[in-house]
Amino acid sequence: MRSKPVFIIYIVMFLVLLRVDRVTKNLVMQNMQVGDAYPSQDSFFAIRYTLNTGVSFSMFEGQTEMLIVLHIILIILVTAACVFTYIKMKHPVLQTALCWIVAGGAGNLMDRVSYGHVIDFISVGSFPVWNFADMCVVGGCILIAIFLLKLHPKQEPEEIPADE
């Protein structure tokens, strides 16, 4: 069984990611007005302060209560997956991925509960505006894909004996 200090690393990682999300959103809220963009609205990359009452690509816009409940359920499920992988699988890439997903989900949940919307501010090209918490969720999902495609031990399918 792993020692407790390894588990502490994931707790610290979660807290650091959550703090970065909170700090970046607070910097935007304190220094910009909703709709502002720096350097300009026409820039390919900009810090663009927007409010998102939906989820990815503004789906389910205005459904704050339902989204809060959904976020809580998903965070509980992914946290349970974190505990399971910590106990059973013990693979650091998978544990890191799940930690990132929980941190991102928690950051956006804090926005929804506190403000009724999510603070988005990173704008690249014509892609929808996003935030650090979204980066954590997407990064975690990419790590899971890498784990499943490249790092997870392959299991050969069991042969079913033919009836003779």
Distance CA 74, CA 56 (A): 15
H-assigned helices in the chain: 4-31, 64-84, 92-115, 132-146
Do 112 and 64 form a contact (C-beta atoms < 8 A)? yes
42 part of the active site: no
Residue listed under structure tokens 């407790």 = 4
Candidates 36, 42, 111, 120; catalytic one: 120
36 part of the active site: no
Candidates 21, 111, 134, 163; catalytic one: 134
Residue listed under structure tokens 């390894």 = 6
Give the residue numbers marked as catalytic.
120, 134
